[in-house]
Amino acid sequence: MTISAEPLMVTPNTLESDCPGCGSKVLTHASYCGHCGDAICLFDPGPAPHTRPRKTADEPVWPWVSSVLKLWGFLLLVIGIYGLIGGHFKITTPFFDLAAQLVSAMAIIAACLSSRDQLRSLFTNWQYFRLRSVFELCGVLLAMYVFMSLYIRITSMAGIETVALLADYQTHNWPLWAIFVSISLLPGIFEELAFRGYIQHRLENIGTVKEALVIQAAMFSVLHLLPTSFISHFFLGLALGLVRIRSRSIYPCILLHTTWNTIVILEEYYAIALFF
């Protein structure tokens, strides 16, 4: 692998530049070319909402990849272990699932804190929140709802039953607000921090934005460990990832994810369809 000795000069307003090795288009904040794999030494353009701290040209790729795989693997392990224990001992209390969420949340927080300097722009950028953004988020939410509604109808016609999310909560008489916190708010926050925050950011610093978008969506869909949800959650991961790219902020993703989960809860709780 050839490493260019010359720094790649970029400006804060440049979204793409040419790889000095193969000439392919790469993002200005990417440290490695997604086409040839060469390291790219970036000239620091100064603080800007979309820039990230640079890596040196001789820094290996594997630490950035392994950190993503470690977090994702740990989340899969937690879900798998808690699922096996719950199934073996017939545990139905929602507190058991809540404990798994808290264990996962601690790992996600630790990962984000380890990259707090690189992720800071996602938490300090509020420029996306304008009137136009409200219509954009509503459009994305509507697209998610239409797609998921059609997907559920198709799978139902194929004889695949929809998973009842609230069965255990209603059996143990949990109030609606507690269900909202457990199923809507906590996943909306911590899944976004993990996938659209930490994981997507790390992948963008290795390859291209498109590659990072697709890979994080695939990892997000696999995390739910339901074969029937791979396609649906892959689409949701793409939609949320695009919002993160568009907004350069984590807050619209959290808002959209939480709102979507709330719609799912209300439809199942009241046995109604909010839109159609």
Q: Are residues 128 and 170 in the same domain?
A: yes
In a domain, 174, yes or no: yes
Q: What residues are paired with 219 via a beta bridge? A: none
- Phi, psi dihedrals of residue 17, rounded to the nearest 5°: -140, 170
In the chain the first and final C-alpha atoms are separated, in Å, by 55
Q: Are residues 155 and 243 in the same domain?
A: yes
Q: How far apart are CA 201 and CA 263, in angstroms?
A: 28
Q: What residues are paired with 122 via a beta bridge? A: none
> What are the helix (H) ranges across the chain?
62-88, 94-114, 116-124, 131-157, 167-171, 176-179, 186-191, 200-204, 209-223, 230-247, 251-270
Q: Are residues 121 and 20 in the same domain?
A: no
Q: Are residues 166 and 263 in the same domain?
A: yes
Inter-axis angle of helices 230-247 and 209-223, nearest 10 = 140
In a domain, 140, yes or no: yes
pLDDT along the chain (276 residues), means of 10: 41 53 65 60 41 52 90 96 93 94 97 94 92 94 95 89 89 95 97 97 91 97 88 96 96 97 94 73
The pLDDT value recorded for residue 229 is 87
pTM recorded for the entire structure: 0.80
Q: How far is the CA of 192 from the CAs of 40, 68, 74, in angstroms? A: 28, 14, 16
The pLDDT value recorded for residue 22 is 66
Q: Are residues 143 and 232 in the same domain?
A: yes
Q: Which of 59, 77, 92 is the last residue of a domain?
A: 59
The pLDDT value recorded for residue 226 is 82
Q: CB neighbours of 259 closer than 8 A, spacing ≥ 6?
A: 141, 188
Q: Which of 25, 41, 59 is the last residue of a domain?
A: 59
Please tell me the total count of domains within the chain: 2
The pLDDT value recorded for residue 20 is 64
Q: Which of 40, 59, 78 is the last residue of a domain?
A: 59
Domain range for 9 is 1-59
Q: How far apart are CA 83 and CA 105, in angstroms?
A: 17
